[in-house]
Amino acid sequence: MRDYPIEKTRDIGIIAHIDAGKTTVTERVLFYTGVSHKIGEVHTGDTVMDWMEQERERGITITAAATTCFWTPTYATGDKNQKYRFNIIDTPGHIDFTVEVKRSMRVLDGAVVVFDGVAGVEPQSETNWHYADEYKVPRICFINKLDRTGASFEKSFDSILDRLTPNAIALQIPIGLEAEHEGLIDLLTMKAYDFTGEMGVVIKEIEIPENLKAEAEKRRHDLIEKIVEKDDALMSAYLEGKVPSLADLKRVLRKATLAVELIPVFCGSALKNKGVQFMLDAVVDYLPSPIDLPPVKGIDPKSSAEIERKPADNEPFSALAFKVATDPFVGSLTFFRVYSGVIKRGTYVANSSKNTQERVGRIVRLHANEREEVEEVEAGNIAALVGAKDTSTGDTICDIDNPIILESITFPEPVISMRIDPKTKADQEKMGVALHKLTEEDPTFRVAGDLETGETIISGMGELHLEILVDRMKREFGVQTNTGKPQVAYKETIKKEAEAEGKYIKQSGGKGQYGHCWLRVKPMERGKGFEFIDATKGGSIPKEFISPIEKGVKEALSRGVISGHLMTDVEVTVFDGSYHDVDSSEIAFKLAGSMALRAAANLAKPVILEPIMKIQVIIPPDYLGDITGDLSSKRGKIEEMSERGIIKVVDAKVPLSEMFGYATKLRSMTQGRGSFTMEFSHYDEVPQSVSALIIEGKK
Ligand code: GDP
């Protein structure tokens, strides 16, 4: 049985630039939601501090992939005194972990974007904002830290308008700034409030200060115009001089926010306990419940047809695993979001991504101060499986009889590889376990064995990413390792279609070997990987030898044909061959498959691919010429040059192999005044001259 109606659920994330106050805002949210029934009571300093201390000790609240809490809106219209369930999905602040940001965007329905009221929009806020746009995440903004010296609501709000979206609208203005920051004015109701009592739990209505009346009126006027623009009926009434009712304004604003056409902006100071409760009311008023979103789409694994699941309990169960984490008390936790149906403890579900089954053991939901064991989880909710065996990040779990593969989170490809060796024999075994755990947690981290040398190769998103993982192996798993130099993860592909045969035949006395196949290779779109098709007819090759051929093909692809790198984006069809009643074996067909692949790929114009990075360099104008010149000399393509105030911004695409050590170079070229960000863009063919260097192992 469902304990909360789905329309009273909000799956949200709190997104912020590092240091903007995400942790503080989250702590306040958990505090207010935990004590909301006590609003109005006076808390002593001790209880508050105890609460915070305990939170920190448990350490689960702010680091949990998802935390559940309940909020009873006080000032939201229409829904007063009804409890809402908020599932707060953790989003990382650090830009090196774009993957984490993307993965959380995939499972949250709405977001609160927190800004520093002194700095306004910062570079990383822009990156995160673009991700939210990519996933069409409805959002509200919270301009925080208005108590800090130098805080300006106006400047911060304008920076949102200038740099993020012209559709931001202010729903509040602050009363007082810096040390005088006291409360705020709600522009929809034209009421003013201040926050008193321990942790600001007492919200009092006050008079709008005389000196702010004119500004509040003006901003309210702007706000109403922006809202009525979104609704024809309201617009015509407004043009005839009718001021829309509060309920109408909120209804239209909610609709426009859900469509990402308007973005409501709120403000306050989390540290000084001002404004957070109104922001929570706004989550209820303006951010979507799971049923406000379209049905989730996926693929039927049997027919490959596109199918849908509605966010309802009576639909077949479907859920996406979005994070695997290790909890010090219960072990491995696999966090999942249920899109449709219900998952029950003690049953079996399918892991359709891996074509396996998973027994549903214990299920837990994490709250600020406890882990709650639950019997079932319904559509729209978030919880974690304890000790799931096979399910990793991005996998779909679903009803066994009604399988679906949900659109997986698309993760960028690893672009850097590095050799890793255990220091001692004892480390060897532990290293295997640690690598396995880490790859389960992080889909952009891969491990492969080099077949020729027997070395272990790890790959990831950048030098820093691999450094952190190696460090985690040491600290969390106690594994000491030696690592090689980071290398660019080149790949190979083919440029045209070709056919070739592979024969592995040995028939000289005794039982021989006989494997023979014809393969056709065809280029596929970039990023499509590998596809294997069996088009043999009339039993030219018995069915049981097809899969050994595929194995042989995969093995050959893993080493490529020019440079020893993985060959990708190839469709391989086996269309003919022959066999021998006695001498044919799996191993013979596997070898024939490898040979045929290599022969066909060599005829199909094989080329080397390299990762191209999207970079953004931010510099004072004096250095513009030097920087763009340098990027061009690195085979970079300048995509855009723009200005941000007096600062210049250069967007470019540059091959990763040219970017090693760029941080140091940029620092010296700009006397430490330039900065840059870099992320993977795509794989592209390398020019002939570079190709030769790669083959010789010089690059
Ligand atoms: P995060 O990195 O985004 O999680 O930010 P934190 O919540 O850790 O905050 C970074 C710093 O800003 C800490 O020193 C906080 O105490 C401080 N801070 C957070 N919110 C406020 C606020 O509203 N006002 C002021 N003055 N400082 C704040």
Residue with tokens 């602040």: 93
State whether the beta carbon of 145 lies less than 6 angstroms from ligand 1. Answer: yes
Q: Is 271 in the pocket of ligand 1 (CB under 6 A)?
A: yes
Percent of the residues in the chain that have a pLDDT greater than 90, as a whole number: 56
Distances (CA, A) of 100 to 103, 245, 412, 456: 5, 41, 11, 25
Q: 486 pLDDT band (50/70/90 cuts)?
A: confident
Look up the CATH number of domain 296-406: 2.40.30.10
Range 416-489 classified under CATH 3.30.70.870: yes
Ligand 1 atom 26, closest CA: 148
d(C-alpha 506, C-alpha 494), whole Å: 31
Distance 615 CA to ligand 1 centre (A): 29
Task: Answer whether 416-489 and 609-695 agree in fold.
Answer: yes
Written as six digits, the tokens of 309 are: 């699941």
Q: How many residues does the chain have?
A: 699
Residue 485 exposure: Cα atoms within 13 Å on the Cβ side: 6
User: How much distance in Å is there from the Cα of 236 to the middle of ligand 1?
Assistant: 45
Summarised one tens digit per residue, pLDDT across range 276-323 is 999 999 999 999 999 998 899 999 988 889 999 999 999 999 999 988
- Whether 113 shows a pLDDT value over 90: the answer reads yes
Which tokens belong to 182? 């006291």
Cβ atoms of residues 426 and 374 within 8 Å? no
> Ligand 1 center to residue 544 CA distance, Å?
63
Contacts of 171 by beta carbon, 8 Å cutoff, 6+ apart: 186, 187, 188, 223, 264, 265, 266, 282
Number of H helices, E strands in the chain: 16, 38
User: Per-residue confidence at 556, pLDDT binned at 50, 70, 90?
Assistant: very high
Domain spans, the chain: 7-292, 296-406, 416-489, 492-604, 609-695
93 lines ligand 1 (CB under 6 A): yes
Instruction: Return the ligand 1 atom nearest residue 20 CA.
Output: 3
Please tell me the distance between residue 284's alpha carbon and the centre of ligand 1 in angstroms. Answer: 24
Question: What is the 344 CA–ligand 1 centroid distance (Å)?
Answer: 40
Ligand 1, closest atom to CA 270? 23
Q: Is 24 in the pocket of ligand 1 (CB under 6 A)?
A: yes
Sheet with 405-406, strands from edge to edge, namely: 306-309, 296-299, 405-406
In the predicted model, what is the mean pLDDT of the chain? Answer: 87
Structure tokens at 647: 């600062």
Of the listed ranges 40-44, 89-93, 567-571, 577-581, the least confidently predicted one is 40-44
Ligand 1, residues 271, 272, 274: which to mutate, most atoms within 8 A of Cβ? 271
* Residue 20 CA to ligand 1 centre (angstroms): 6
Measured in angstroms, how far is the CA atom of residue 662 from the centroid of ligand 1? 31
Q: Write the residue with the smallest CA distance to atom 25 of ligand 1.
A: 145
Helices (H), 400-542: 425-441, 463-477
> 271: CA distance to ligand 1 center in Å?
7
Compute the distance from residue 98 Cα to the ligand 1 centre, in Å. 22
Q: Whose CA is nearest to atom 10 of ligand 1?
A: 19
Closest CA to 517 of 537, 530, 503: 503
Identify whether the C-beta of residue 261 lies closer than 8 Å to the C-beta of residue 283. Answer: no
Would the CB of 269 count as within 6 Å of ligand 1?
yes
| Alpha helices (H) along 259-341 | 276-286
Specify the pLDDT at position 578. 95
Does the C-beta of 150 come closer than 6 Å to ligand 1?
no
Taking residues 500-512, report their average pLDDT.
87
What is the CATH code of the structural domain delimited by 609-695? 3.30.70.240
How high is the pLDDT of residue 511? 80
Asked if residue 338 lies in contact with residue 317, where contact means CB atoms within 8 angstroms, the answer is: yes
Could you write out the DSSP letters of every residue in 65-124? SEEEEEE--SSSSS-TT--EEEEEEP----GGGHHHHHHHHHH-SEEEEEEETTTBS-HH
| Mean pLDDT within 453-476 | 84
Taking the CA of residue 62 as reference, the ligand 1 atom at the shortest distance is 4
Cβ–ligand 1 distance for 285 under 6 Å, the answer no
Task: Give the residue, out of 15, 23, 24, 27, with the most ligand 1 atoms within 8 A of its beta carbon, to mutate for a pocket test.
Answer: 24
279 Cβ below 6 A of ligand 1: no
User: Does residue 148 have its Cβ closer than 6 Å to ligand 1?
Assistant: yes
Banded model confidence at residue 679, pLDDT cuts 50, 70, 90: confident
Q: Whose CA is nearest to atom 19 of ligand 1?
A: 21
Q: Is the minimum distance from the CB of 90 to ligand 1 under 6 angstroms?
A: no
Please, what is the Cα angle at 158 between 186 and 247, to 5 degrees? 30
State the distance from the centre of ligand 1 to the C-alpha of 21, rounded, in angstroms: 4
Please name which of 89, 427, 79, 2 lies closest in space to residue 281, comparing C-alpha atoms.
79
Say which amino acid occupies 444. T
Task: Say how far apart CA 101 and CA 8 lie, in whole Å.
Answer: 25
The pLDDT value recorded for residue 498 is: 97
pLDDT of the residue at 359: 94
Distances in Å between the Cα of 409 and the Cα atoms of 93, 101, 323, 623 are 19, 11, 11, 39
Quick: pLDDT tens for 193-222: 998 877 777 888 899 999 999 999 999 999
pLDDT at 588: 95
Residue 353 beta carbon below 6 angstroms from any ligand 1 atom: no
Range among 78-87, 158-167, 456-465 with highest mean pLDDT value? 158-167
For residue 269, the ligand 1 atom closest to its alpha carbon is 23
- Closest residue by Cα to atom 22, ligand 1, is 145
Report which ligand 1 atom has the smallest distance to the Cα of 24: 7
H or E element at residue 337: strand 331-340
Q: At 76, is the pLDDT very low, low, confident or very high (cuts 50, 70, 90)? A: low
Q: Which of 103-107, 252-256, 352-356 has the lowest mean pLDDT?
A: 103-107
- The model's confidence at residue 42, banded by pLDDT at 50, 70 and 90, is very low
| 593 CA distance to ligand 1 middle (Å) | 60
CA 46–ligand 1 middle distance (angstroms): 21
The protein residue with its alpha carbon nearest to ligand 1, atom 9, reads: 21
User: Which residue's C-alpha comes closest to atom 17 of ligand 1?
Assistant: 21
Instruction: Give the span between the Cα atoms of 397 and 245, in whole angstroms.
Output: 45
Dist. CA 593–CA 548, nearest whole Å: 8
How many CA atoms are closer than 13 Å to the CA of 141, on its beta-carbon side? 33
Q: What is the mean predicted confidence (pLDDT) over 615-637?
A: 92
Q: Is the CB of 147 under 6 A from ligand 1?
A: yes
pLDDT score at 123: 66
The confidence score (pLDDT) of residue 450 equals 64
Fold of 7-292: Rossmann fold (3.40.50)
pLDDT per residue as tens digits for the range 338-368: 999 999 999 999 999 999 999 999 999 887 7
Give the best-scoring range by mean pLDDT among 48-62, 79-93, 539-553: 539-553
Is the pLDDT at 662 greater than 90? The verdict is no
Q: Which two tokens stand for residue 577?
A: 């061959």
Out of 3.40.50.880, 3.30.230.10, 3.40.50.10800, 3.40.50.720, the CATH code matching 492-604 is 3.30.230.10
Q: How far is CA 644 from the centre of its chain?
A: 27
| The model's pTM | 0.72
- Residue of 14, 15, 19, 28 to mutate, ligand 1, most atoms within 8 A of C-beta: 19
| DSSP H or E stretch at residue 220 | helix 213-228
pLDDT-derived band at 95 (thresholds 50, 70, 90) equals: very low
Share of the chain above pLDDT 70, in %: 91
**83 CA to middle of ligand 1, Å?**
28
pLDDT single digits (tens) 162-200: 888 999 999 999 999 999 999 999 999 999 999 887 777
Q: Which amino acid is at 206?
A: I
**CA-16 nearest atom, ligand 1:** 3
Report whether residue 21 contacts ligand 1, using a CB cutoff of 6 Å.
yes
How many Å lie between the centroid of ligand 1 and the Cα of residue 92?
15
Q: Kindly tell me if the per-residue pLDDT of 628 is higher than 90.
A: yes
Residue 128 CA to ligand 1 centre (angstroms): 19
